[in-house]
Structure 1
């Protein structure tokens, strides 16, 4: 399982896929999301800029991503 630590309150779904290197570009991320290839917390997610927050899990291309809160937040 991959992990991503947030720097703020959330990250947009397309940016998350690109940040982890699961896609080669933002355009590819948006296309794959719109084609129904991404799940968030076990549910199909079609919103390209869905706000993904700490504690959520994203599934894409056989990978599971756990989103962690910033260690600097209190």
Structure 2
């Protein structure tokens, strides 16, 4: 599991994907989220603006990311 450190209260899902280098661009993140390919805390998430906080887990493309 990869750890992603944030220094704010939360980060939006699409911004997190770009920040953690899961995708090349925000547009790519938007498309992948809309297609239901991203899981947040074990559930499919199609909201690109979903607030991700410390302790959340994001799964994408066979990789797990823990927000610290």
Q: Into which bin does the TM-score normalised by the smaller protein fall? A: over 0.9
The equivalent of 1:30 in structure 2 is: 30
Runs of 4+ in 1 over 3 A off after TM superposition: none
Post-superposition CA distance 1:12-62 (Å, at most 9, x none): 000111111111100000000000000000001000010000111000001
Secondary structure at 1:16 match in 2? helix
What value does the CA root-mean-square deviation take over the aligned residues? 0.6
**Which blocks of at least 5 consecutive residues in structure 2 are unaligned?**
none
Q: Where does structure 1 lack aligned partners over 5 or more consecutive residues?
A: 69-74
Structure 1 length-normalised TM: 0.89
Distance 1:3 1:23 in 2: 16
Q: Cα offset for 1:5? A: 1.0
Alignment of 1:1-74 (within 5 A): 1-68=1-68
Q: Under a length normalisation based on structure 2, what TM-score does the superposition of the two structures give?
A: 0.96
